[in-house]
Amino acid sequence: MTIGEALKKVQNQLGLTATAMAAGIISKGTYSKVVNGKQSLSSDSLVKILFKNNIDINDFFEMLKSTYMSESKLYEEKLFNGMQQALNNHNTKMAQEYLAQIKTKTSNKYLQQRAEITVAFLTNNIDKLNDEFKKSVIDKLNSHPNWIKDIDALRLFNTSLLILPNDKVEVEMRLFFIKIAHTERISESMKERYAILCCNYLGWRYKKKPKINDNVTNALKYLKDLASTAHFENYKICGKYFNHLFNNEIDTAKQMKSDLLALGITVGVKNWPI
């Protein structure tokens, strides 16, 4: 979908006229040429139109991927999403199939390492990943002084909780919370990625040592403080579940998990420790 097509689609969804959509930014005639593919639109004007009409920028650009993202990047994203789905649903066969494709058809080292760890986790072979592989993951992470801002590095760290030394995880999580506390504005998409990391860290920590430390407290607080929207509801529920676990309210936590699974809510929930 082109920028013009996406603008037209959103305009129709909002029930706006072309004049109302572009008012105060570009003329109706220019807007008409843009949506019909006869003229390009400056980045400044595009952003102004999106902000003026309260259009979700992430959703808007998601519509543009098939047109403006390279084929190789689109393919990598497809493989990433497939591997994530396999992990969330504990589908070992699917994960192994995606790993084979990732190893042979992409050169993305981050994606390859994440896929290797995911399959090792699903097949209970984490201990069989050799020291050379683990060192390569640590080296990759260490090459980013601010990995919380790099999406690929953030995703790799998220998955690597399964193989990193305990002290490495705790130090990096401590730095993570310090950095986000000093970040003025965090986008909705990054908030979600950070929420996923908090949930994964809490699961990792509970399995390693089910006692509350500063990182656990900060992770629980981060999830609790997320906006009460449908978009973040799963993560807030995850925070409540782990809050019960770390406070030794085991029966309550088990009931939460059982109720969610009974409702067909399996994404992430299947990976909860109890």
For 206, the token pair is: 């509970």
| 124 to 120, 209, 252: CA distances (angstroms) | 6, 19, 28
Distance in angstroms (rounded) separating the CA atoms of residues 166 and 174: 12
DSSP string covering 162-181: TTS-HHHHHHHHHHHHHHHH
DSSP string covering 109-142: HHHHHHHHHHHHHHTT-GGGS-HHHHHHHHHHHH
For 23, the token pair is: 């008012």
pLDDT at 144 over 90: no
Residue type, 31: Y
Mean pLDDT of 51-55: 92
pLDDT of the residue at 205: 95
pLDDT of the residue at 88: 80
pLDDT at 185 over 90: no
Q: Find where tokens 């290797």 sit.
A: 116
Find all residues with CB under 8 Å of 191, minimum gap 6, and list them. Answer: 226, 232
pLDDT at 268 over 80: no
pLDDT at 266 over 80: no
In the chain, domain spans: 3-68, 165-274
Distance in angstroms (rounded) separating the CA atoms of residues 55 and 202: 34
pLDDT at 267 over 80: no
pLDDT at 265 over 90: no
pLDDT band at 197 (very low <50, low <70, confident <90, very high): very high
Question: In this prediction, what percent of the chain has a pLDDT beyond 90?
Answer: 60
Q: Which of 256, 221, 223 is nearest to 241 (CA)?
A: 256
pLDDT of the residue at 138: 86
pLDDT tens sequence across 204-223: 999 998 999 999 999 999 99
Mean pLDDT of 95-100: 94
Distance in angstroms (rounded) separating the CA atoms of residues 129 and 134: 7
Mean pLDDT of 166-186: 91
Q: Which of 143, 147, 81 is nearest to 114 (CA)?
A: 81
Average pLDDT over the chain, rounded to whole? 91
pLDDT at 142 over 90: no
Distance in angstroms (rounded) separating the CA atoms of residues 200 and 142: 20
pLDDT of the residue at 140: 84
pLDDT band at 229 (very low <50, low <70, confident <90, very high): confident
DSSP 251: H
pLDDT band at 252 (very low <50, low <70, confident <90, very high): very high
pLDDT band at 17 (very low <50, low <70, confident <90, very high): very high
Fold of 3-68: 434 Repressor (Amino-terminal Domain) (1.10.260)
pLDDT band at 257 (very low <50, low <70, confident <90, very high): very high
Distance in angstroms (rounded) separating the CA atoms of residues 226 and 206: 22
